[in-house]
Amino acid sequence: NGESFSADKLRVLANALAARHLSVPQTHVMLKVFTFSGDRLKALELMAPHTVDLARNGYQLFDAFDFSTDKEKARSIIERNS
């Protein structure tokens, strides 16, 4: 089912991030792998601590989210990790 598939993708992402760093463009590409905003937010939570240029370029991630409420949640995640 879809929920299981999303959980699997999040699990793979979490394992792949161990001791790795990402740029904002790489994080953006990875966010687009997820269909649903809720999953994108979960993925951003996982990737944000590993995104080295988040403080400077994090605003570029907002367009990965369709709804203003999700953009605000993304902003909060970015601010917490910048």
pLDDT for res 3: 56
d(CA 18, CA 50): 9
pTM for the full predicted model: 0.86
Calculate mean pLDDT across residues 19-35: 94
76: tokens are 């909060």
- Integer Cα distance of 63 and 40 in angstroms: 12
The whole-number pLDDT of residue 4 equals 74
* pLDDT over 90 at 64, yes or no: yes
Locate tokens 């993925």: which residue?
43
The percentage of the chain sitting over the pLDDT mark of 90, rounded to a whole number, equals 76
Which H or E run includes 15? helix 2-16
- Whether the pLDDT of residue 23 is over 80: the answer is yes
Instruction: Give the pLDDT score at 2.
Output: 54
